[in-house]
Chain A
Amino acid sequence: MPISSQEVQHIAKLARVGLSEEDVAKFQQQLSSILDYFETLRRLDTEGIPPTSHTLALTNVTRDDAPRPPFHKEAVFANAPQREGDHFRVKAVLE
């Protein structure tokens, strides 16, 4: 069940990963053969089997809603690619 180049471009858009035309072709071919391989799972009967998301039987792990010291502001901004005052600067989100 090969994947089309439109589908590759659609996925790339969802994942916000830019792809060149060569990349689209290359990934189309590689993803197709990997997805083919996944067809083997169809052979297994999983009717009535619950999914496992997690191998530990933990649910609703919570802690007290008590404030704790946050990261120091300078530590948070230390790796900032574009900083303006106490903000991370990006290009306009809405025009």
Chain B
Amino acid sequence: MDSLYNLTLHEVADLLARREVSSLELTRHTLERLRAVEDKVRAFITITDELALQQAQEADARIDAGEGGPLTGIPSAIKDVICTRGVRTTCGSRMLENFVPPYDATVIERLTKAGLVIVGKTNMDEFAMGSSTENSAFFPTHNPWDLERVPGGSSGGSAAAVAAGQAFYALGSDTGGSIRQPAALCGIVGLKPTYGRVSRYGLVAFASSLDQIGPMTRDVRDCALVLSAIAGYDPSDATSAPMDVPDYSQALLPDLAGPGGRRLRVGVPREYFVEGMDDGVRKAIETAVRQLEDMGAEVDWEVTLPSTPYALAVYYIIAPSEASANLARYDGVKYGFSYQEGKSMWENMEKTRQLGFGDEVKRRIMLGTYALSAGYYDAYYLKAQKVRTLIRREFDAAFEKYDVLVTPVSPTPAFKLGEKVADPLAMYLSDVCTIPVNIAGLPGISIPCGFADDLPVGLQILGKPFDEATVLRVAYAYEQATDWHKRRPPL
């Protein structure tokens, strides 16, 4: 029973299937591990012991009846931005500190059918706005590889929980990099699906044209298993794609051939190797790409996507604009924090939002309100949407020539807690490599590819819309030829 928590989801699924361990035993073991390191990691806002044990018992009954699947009975952690019926969902904010959703997100319904066991709801930057989890209204999460450093954000709790063995997989959400960047900083796998691949019903909205839920796992096979379970058309989400979901596990082959068996064409866009990028990160990425070459890929190191430097500005106009609309609902009337001492309804509402929201959230609401307001809409929001078209067209043209694009995920490894909080713009720059992918709506994965100063480095693989299969295939082949995914933090 020693270090079951170090195994992958699929390894543990095998043990469950062979009845070498029960889900109840596994869940107890996971909860013990969770609590043993939680003082140091602080990945969880809510720990759901009782629920987990009850779900584990149900899972065991299903497995005994021969009705188990690849995810049945395996403890998971869910980012606290995803609605779980009857379980407090805070979005890392005082505004929703005591909010209990009356419904499950569609992804939760799907995982429940697959035999979900939830050990807890994970910490995050408030309303998913941030890149370090330091914007959580409650407390920061610590990187399991170095407890004085951030786990990344906004899905920092989910990333840390998986890295620390507190859950076998987690769900995160990604609007500008919030799955991929913490996955990279914590040395795990994180996938942002194509926009529309996974239902957003029950995902508390930040930016409706950018948000996606995705898996955060120890390895690529686990990622494929979770993605297959959560992906697919949902009539409750008008933006979900009415397209079939392939069995992503079938895409995992240990060789690197491109579609049709020809050589895989890999493009490396120069603009992602930004000025000020950490040398150790650069070296790790370059080594990883040379590994792909050694494995038979045709690599073009000189791809250029000239609109890349503009993506950050586009994102920081579009995302806050959409957020200003999505967060208008937090007014203290039907749910959430509600200030009652004012002299008028408006005063109550204004104070509710002043006290219920943290600084970063207020900053973005105001940016968005400004960008959409009369006199500024054309110069900011409309302009940003036009540049968004340019960015997407550039990617489309690139994917005529390449099967995948490969880039760094983060210009630096995990930074120290407190290092970037004083300068919002400096924090925003952590997302330069991830943001364009959300703007264009493409799928992107971060996989471990090495270390810089003993801190994990992630490699980003981007694919065509709805081509998660190729992204996963390339990720899997690289992973199996290396052993980064087998490393565990010294915790």
Contacts and interface: CB of A to CB of B under 8 A. Distances in A.
Interface of A: 3, 7-8, 11-12, 14-20, 23, 27, 30-31, 33-35, 37-38, 40-42, 44, 46, 49-56, 58, 61, 63, 71-72, 75-76, 78-82, 88, 90-93
Contacts of B392: 52, 55
A42 B370 CA distance: 17
B350 interface: yes
B368 to A, nearest CB: 8
Contact of A27 (B317, B331, B362): B362
Interface string B278-294: 00000000000000000
B66 to A, nearest CB: 33
A38 B316 CA distance: 8
B102 interface: yes
B353 interface: yes
Contacts of B353: 15-18
Contacts of A38: 313, 316-317, 380
A11 to B, nearest CB: 5
Interface string B370-408: 100100000010111111111010000000000000000
Contacts of A63: 235
B314 interface: yes
Interface stretch (B222-230, B265-273, B337-345): B337-345
27 contacts: A15-B324, A15-B365, A15-B369, A17-B365, A19-B362, A23-B354, A23-B362, A27-B363, A30-B424, A31-B363, A41-B314, A41-B384, A44-B390, A52-B385, A55-B195, A56-B239, A58-B241, A61-B238, A79-B99, A79-B100, A79-B335, A81-B333, A81-B335, A81-B336, A82-B340, A90-B333, A90-B345
A30 B362 CA distance: 12
Contacts of A82: 338, 340
Contacts of B103: 71, 75
Interface majority SS (helix, strand, loop, mixed), chain B: helix
Nearest to A49: B386
Contact of A92 (B98, B209, B344, B362): B344
Contact of A55 (B307, B328, B362, B440): B440
Given A40-B310, A90-B348, A18 B373 contact: no
Contacts of A71: 102-103
B46 to A, nearest CB: 16
Nearest to A26: B359
Contact of A91 (B324, B336, B342, B440): B342
Interface in B169-198: 195-196
Given A41-B383, A75-B102, A79-B100, A17 B354 contact: yes
Contacts, number: 162
A44 B373 CA distance: 22
Contacts of A30: 363, 424
Contacts of B241: 56, 58
A58 B344 CA distance: 43
Contact of A46 (B100, B373, B380, B387): B387
Contacts of B344: 91-92
B346 A16 contact: yes
B202 interface: no
The CB with the most chain B CB atoms within 10 A, among A16, A41, A55, is that of: A55
Nearest to A79: B335
B363 A78 contact: no
A82 B333 CA distance: 8
A50 B389 contact: yes
Contacts of B362: 17, 19, 23, 27
Contact of A3 (B333, B348, B363, B370): B370
Nearest to B324: A15
Contacts of A51: 382, 385-386, 388-389
Given A17-B353, A52-B386, A52-B389, 13 more contacts: A12-B366, A27-B363, A34-B367, A38-B317, A40-B313, A41-B313, A44-B390, A51-B382, A54-B209, A54-B239, A56-B241, A75-B103, A81-B338
